[in-house]
């Protein structure tokens, strides 16, 4: 659930492709707010210590709130997978609704996390525990 990115941090290497090597002729992801991209480059210079991490929410990093969605509206989604929620016209209305209504966001999150809790834990050969969320275990 992307809204969980309202709190927490990320190591620079997990999003460096958006601020340095996005595409030929365009090193910075064009969906990224330019001022925010510059700020990220200052906090995460090339060849930065891989232990350096920054907040996923630059505005209210220690509060689980709907600011995450307001950030997306301003091009301040740290990960491509987050920012696409706003750039994709199918999900943009949801981002707009939750950015403008904290109560609606909180209720939707409660409903989603409750459903997720009922999915059940897969174990043995039917499960997969990841030590790195971006890498499928073996």
Cα separation of 4 and 10, whole Å?
Answer: 13
Q: Is 57 annotated as a binding residue?
A: yes
Pull the structure tokens for residue 135.
């890498």
65 is in an annotated binding site: yes
96 labelled binding-site residue: no
Q: Is 82 annotated as a binding residue?
A: no
Q: Which class for 10: exposed (0-12), middle (13-18), buried (19 or more C-beta within 10 A)?
A: middle
Residue 81 contacts residue 30 (beta carbons within 8 Å): no
- Binding site as annotated, residues for heme b: 5
Binding residues for Ca(2+): 57, 60, 65
User: Binding site: which residues?
Assistant: 5, 57, 60, 65
């Amino acid at each position: 659930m992307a809204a969980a990115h309202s709190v927490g941090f990320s190591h620079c290497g997990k999003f460096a492709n958006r601020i340095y090597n996005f595409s030929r002729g365009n090193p910075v992801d064009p969906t990224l707010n330019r001022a925010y991209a510059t700020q990220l480059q200052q906090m995460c210079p090339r060849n930065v210590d891989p232990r350096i991490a920054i907040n996923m929410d630059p505005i209210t990093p220690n509060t689980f709130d709907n600011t995450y969605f307001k950030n997306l509206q301003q091009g301040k989604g740290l990960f491509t997978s987050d920012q696409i929620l706003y750039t994709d016209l199918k999900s943009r209305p949801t981002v707009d609704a939750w950015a403008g209504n904290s109560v609606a966001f909180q209720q939707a999150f409660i409903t989603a996390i409750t459903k997720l809790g009922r999915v059940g834990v897969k174990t043995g050969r039917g499960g997969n525990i990841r030590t790195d969320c971006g890498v499928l275990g073996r």
